[in-house]
Structure 1
Amino acid sequence: MLLRERRWDRWSTFCLRFEHAARELAKDINAPRLATITVPRRSFDRWAKGECVPRPDTTLILERLFGVPSEDLFSPALETLHLQVPSHDRDGLSALLTITENWSTSRLFMPAGELPGSWEMVGRQALDGTASAVAFRPAIRSGSTAQIDVASTGSFDRFLRSARRGFLVGVDDRESTPQLFVIDAANARRARATSPGRSVIELPGAHVLDDLTYGLLWSLVQFDDGLLTDDSALAQERHALDTYLALPRSAPSHLAMPDLTTAGTQWLGSSFCARHIMRRLDGLTEPPVLGTREQTGEQAATWLWFQHKIEYLRALSSRYADSAASMSRAFCISESEVSRSDRYERILLLLAISLMELQGIRVDVLPDPEYSEMDGFALIPERRAVVANWTRTDGAIWAVDTVTQRPALRGYREAAGEAQAHSVMRGPDPQTRLRALAGYLEIDWTWLIGRCRELRECGTASIVRPRSRHLSVEALDEVFHFFGSFAPDR
């Protein structure tokens, strides 16, 4: 548990920490032999599984490294920590162990006493990470609802009133694996205010913390905090975009706007690319063939949260609604990229693609890694390709161009043709195609349909609300209604 909490669960990372602690201890107690001790990979794996206890010299270094007696280090974490933690903190401890066990991009910090803890979520490649306040309270699930104890205490009232983003987590630990229920602290404050005098708030069972709801929280809070940080800067920079729109090509460096967070940079690049494409499709009566660079849920989550993204999809669908030809969009998502992604990220990717299918855009997913560096493009066959990249742009906020050379046009046409011919999404209708994609992404289709139906009933905003004006739950709620209409057995 300590290895996961500190992100030392890779052998190479752990060895650096261990050897540093060994040198410090050797110097402090004048025992040079300790500085020569190293950790074989097999030993590390066996320690992490609790299969053996190391030799005395090694245990001295481990005690120095972790600050915990060796007999506790190699005892079951839950039993050991329960003995050390006051009874009123047991809910937080159960939640800490459950969250760090299931989601490696989370860390929880629990202070002593009644102060709220801190829930840190970190990005994998495309997000900066952030931290929110968190409070844990006992919960009891009964049927389709869960009741969380919100009896008033001074520290809990201050937690709910804080302007900082916070989450209230209800912990039902009556089973061997605790069930956690999550709600934004602002929503919890609102719920308690509407039922004065009650010591519990009642949540729909859809609020259970699993890969679906974790993925939503993980992506939203990082975008939200980044965009709030950049709000003033983005308002100023947006006025300069018109100048770039008049240019046939542009690729401004990150160094031109060094103060922007990753979330702010992504929003600015994505917003500009959408405007660049729509402007250069003016007068086109037949729908373009689209290609996109997003390969992970972390990258694709922008489609679910950025308000301009849903507006862009609707504008495309509306513009070509009367066309006899259908619009298509190609992704390249290799098997190796799927295997590197956790399930909550793959769920975000599936939801983003389903949003496009919902808007009438047929999606093709090509598993061939040869096309992994494919540009984002809108291809007007035999005429031009509007290139628009804002993710994986090698130091640029965006990189846009308008291409007319025949060899380049042939390359975009071949990429789209390969995606259509070898797509993992096969079938005559969105439900069949999305179910095939769920299989490729190793997501249980029946489970996902059931969870989307639950979230359709309560809505995303009942769990968490964006604070930035650039974000919205609108697209996600549409997706949940879309999935909720599917039959799980088809």
Structure 2
Amino acid sequence: MSWGRFEGLYAAAAKRVAARVGGTPVSVSRSTYMRWIAGESTPEGLAQQVLEELFGIGFELLMGPAPDRELELPSVLSVTSRAAAMLVDSKWSTSMLYPTAPVAGVDGSWYFDGVDLLDPTSVAVQLYEAMDHPYDDVVAIGPADYPHVRQFVRPTRRALLLAFVQERRNGVGEGGLYLLDAAHARRLLAPERPVEMLPIPSAFRLDDLTFGLVHGLVSADNALSADDQLLDAEEQGLEQLLQRERTVYAREMVPGLSQVGAAWLGSRFCSRHALRWLTKSEAPSALWSRAQIGEEALPLLLFRQQHQFIGEFTKLAAGRVEQPGVVLCVPEDVVAASPLYQRIMFFLALAWLEMRGLVTSVCGDPEYAKIDEFVLVPGEQAVLGTWMRAKDNIWSADVAVRKAQVRDFDLAVRHARAHSVTQGASSHTRLRAAVEYLGLEQIWDTFPQRCAELGAYGTVDMLQARSRLIALDEVDRALRYIGGLGSA
């Protein structure tokens, strides 16, 4: 710190100390300051209190020796690899990537912003330069970087490794950035396991598909992990509320809950509410969802309780003659405003529903976008449970049994199915229509194969869920399902 800056800060701190203890503020000369810096003399009396006030730590600690820590510095990155990292933010507006340590011992970071449902969050990240191994279908971080990688992955916090490969694969494919979860790297580099290289499957390359998964999983997982105790306490009180046909739970009832946490709690209650009242009636025929963009479809792909709910709904609906289905309203302007990775995540959710045996109908009429979420038993009842975009509420739930009410919901489902942009007699036909509506034609030639290769490896080594409320198994199943569409 320069003398001029120190003098001003010291004088201000001295005034605060004098006001607190009484007396005149002590001053310090430049020569005294230089002797302190050189270690030729030690501050005494009120000067010690002023320095404690200035630096915010005790005098003994301030004057003690600096901690002795061994730090492994990362390799210096090339201009090309740094440029590749900078392009990430220009491609995805919800990303802010700082992929290297700004100073020794401080990790880089990857910040994600949410569009609607997801909370802003960040994850530790470090970029390394890797080698191409086309015959093994992997890229590899070399032994020279292992000391720093081991230091980076040692902490138990969530972290990601990014590997950059510049050269083309066999002259046809492109290099780029590849992802690996730090927990998997930690296992591979365990001291008792000698390794010649740290491999990352080429399927883990960073593109719109993997960015959508990373953005969604990291944001949802961090939020649910932070909310875990609060959500557990709130869930204990749901049983009493489930006894009622109609409930509204205000957002202000659970202050401090994240947006993802509120979505989990709302979807949890509405799922249990629906199953409770559906068992008192005939088989349901349709589930109306308010999901419109990739973020809003993520609960279907990630939340364990949503996996269970869809499974129970499918079982209850199995008694009907017609195939049960899910109806979603996605206006054209919403599609047009959605980034490619958001549309890919939405398509992944549609494919997962189709894979579970549900007919997906996508209605483009904007006037249907505000209809509450419900499960329909034609001619008998509609069980309402709105948690997505529920304004100031975590959820609102009801049971409609009056004939006029049920007819309105029935007409909405009939209209949406009759005017669905994804009509077709088979899952493949409906999903191909969804590809066109969502503007995915530009990537469809290679997309099924891309999903197949990622689904074959599984996402567990690229991303690992830490929250007990999240599972990635169904994502992998949906990826493999889409992979099969390419040969259908």
Unaligned runs of 5+ in 1: 1-85
SS at match of 2:465: coil
1:121 to 106, 112, 120: 112
1:342 and 1:132, CA in 2 relative to 1: closer, same or farther beyond 3 A? same
Give the drift of 1:485: 2.2
1 CA distance for matches of 2:132 and 2:308? Answer: 38
Residue 141 (str. 1) matches residue 132 (str. 2): yes
The equivalent residue for 1:478 is: 477
Q: CA deviation at 1:100?
A: 1.0
| Secondary structure at 1:251 match in 2 | strand
In the alignment, residue 333 of structure 1 is paired with which amino acid?
V
The reply to whether residue 438 of structure 1 matches residue 431 of structure 2 is: no
Q: 1:194 to 1:289 in 2, by over 3 A?
A: farther
Distance 2:76 2:473 in 1: 41
Between the aligned partners of 1:349 and 1:195, the Cα distance in structure 2 is 43
Rounded to whole Å, the distance in 1 between the matches of 2:96 and 2:393 is 31
1:247 and 2:229 aligned: no
Confirm or deny that 1:172 pairs with 2:161: no
Contact 2:449 2:486 in 1 (8 A): no
Aligned partner of residue 77 in structure 2, secondary structure: helix
Q: Residues 336 and 177 (structure 1 numbering): CA distance in 2 closer, same or farther, change over 3 Å?
A: same
- Indicate if the aligned counterparts of 1:94 and 1:173 stay in contact, CA closer than 8 A: no
Q: 3-state SS of the aligned residue for 2:248?
A: coil
Give the letter aligned to residue 459 of structure 2: T
**319-328 vs 269-278, greater mean Cα deviation:** 319-328
**What is the match of residue 291 of structure 1?**
288
Letter of the structure 1 residue corresponding to residue 262 of structure 2: T
Larger radius of gyration between Structure 1 and Structure 2 = 2
Structure 2 counterpart SS, 1:360: coil
Note the C-alpha offset of 1:180: 0.6
- 1:334-383 deviations in whole A, cap 9, x for unaligned? 11000111111111111111111111111100011111111111111222
Q: Tell me the distance in 1 between the aligned counterparts of 2:192 and 2:462.
A: 18
- Distance (whole Å) between structure 2 residues aligned to residue 190 and residue 486 of structure 1: 35
Q: Is 1:270 aligned to 2:263, yes or no?
A: no
- AA matched with 1:478: R
Question: Per-residue displacement from partner, 1:266-323 (whole Å, max 9, x unpaired)?
Answer: 1100111111111111043433322111111111111110011111111122233343
RMSD over aligned CA atoms reads 2.1
Distance in 2 of aligned mates of 1:392 and 1:116: 36
Which residue does the alignment assign to 2:187? Answer: 190
- Provide the C-alpha distance between the structure 2 equivalents of 1:113 and 1:271, rounded to a whole number of angstroms: 43
Corresponding residue number in structure 1 for 2:15: none
TM-score normalised by length of structure 2: 0.79
2:93 pairs with 1:94:
no
CA distance in structure 1 between the partners assigned to 2:76 and 2:477 by the alignment:
43
**Cα separation, 2, equivalents of 1:427 and 1:193:** 52
| Matched AA of 2:298 | A
Distance 1:270 1:465 in 2: 23
* Residue of structure 1 in register with 2:123 after alignment: 132
Deviations 1:427-471 (A, max 9, x none): 111111111101111113232211111012101102111000000
- For 1:261, which of 258, 266, 285 is the aligned residue? 258
2:376 — aligned with what?
Answer: 379
| Native 8 Å contact 1:116 1:133 kept in 2 | yes
Letter in 2 for 1:271: R
* 1:249 CA displacement: 0.8
User: Is contact 2:285-2:324 (8 Å) kept?
Assistant: yes
Query: How far off its partner does 1:112 sit?
Result: 3.0
* Structure 2: stretches of 5+ with no match in the other structure: 1-74
Q: What residue in structure 2 maps to residue 419 of structure 1? A: 416
| Cα 1:166–1:119 shift into 2, 3 Å | same
Secondary structure of the equivalent of 1:485?
A: helix
SS at match of 1:202: strand
What CA distance in whole angstroms lies between the structure 1 residues aligned with 2:139 and 2:325?
42
Residue matched to 1:80: none
Q: Does the C-alpha gap of structure 1 residues 195 and 348 become closer, same or farther in structure 2, counting only changes over 3 Å?
A: farther
Amino acid at match of 1:389: T
**In 1, distance between residues paired with 2:424 and 2:339?**
26
Q: Determine what percentage of the aligned residue pairs are the same residue.
A: 32
Q: Distance in 2 between matches of 1:166 and 1:477?
A: 21
| 1:40-439 correspondence runs (5 A) | 87-88=76-77, 90=79, 93-109=82-98, 110-114=100-104, 115-143=106-134, 144-149=137-142, 151-152=144-145, 155-174=148-167, 179-193=176-190, 196-439=193-436
Q: Does the 8 A contact of 2:188 with 2:195 survive in 1? A: no
Mapped partners of 2:128, 2:330: distance in 1 = 40
Cα distance change, pair 195–429 in 1 and its aligned pair in 2 (3 A): farther
For 1:76, the equivalent position in structure 2 comes to none
338-347 or 313-322, larger mean C-alpha shift: 313-322
1:73 maps to what in 2? none
Alignment partner, residue 5 of structure 1:
none
| Cα separation, 2, equivalents of 1:118 and 1:344 | 21
Residue 486 of structure 1: how far off its partner (Å): 2.1
8 Å contact kept, 1:152–1:199? no
Kept after mapping to 2: 8 A contact 1:98/1:178: no
Q: Tell me whether 252-261 or 439-448 shows the greater mean CA deviation.
A: 439-448
CA contact (8 A) 1:94 1:171 kept: no
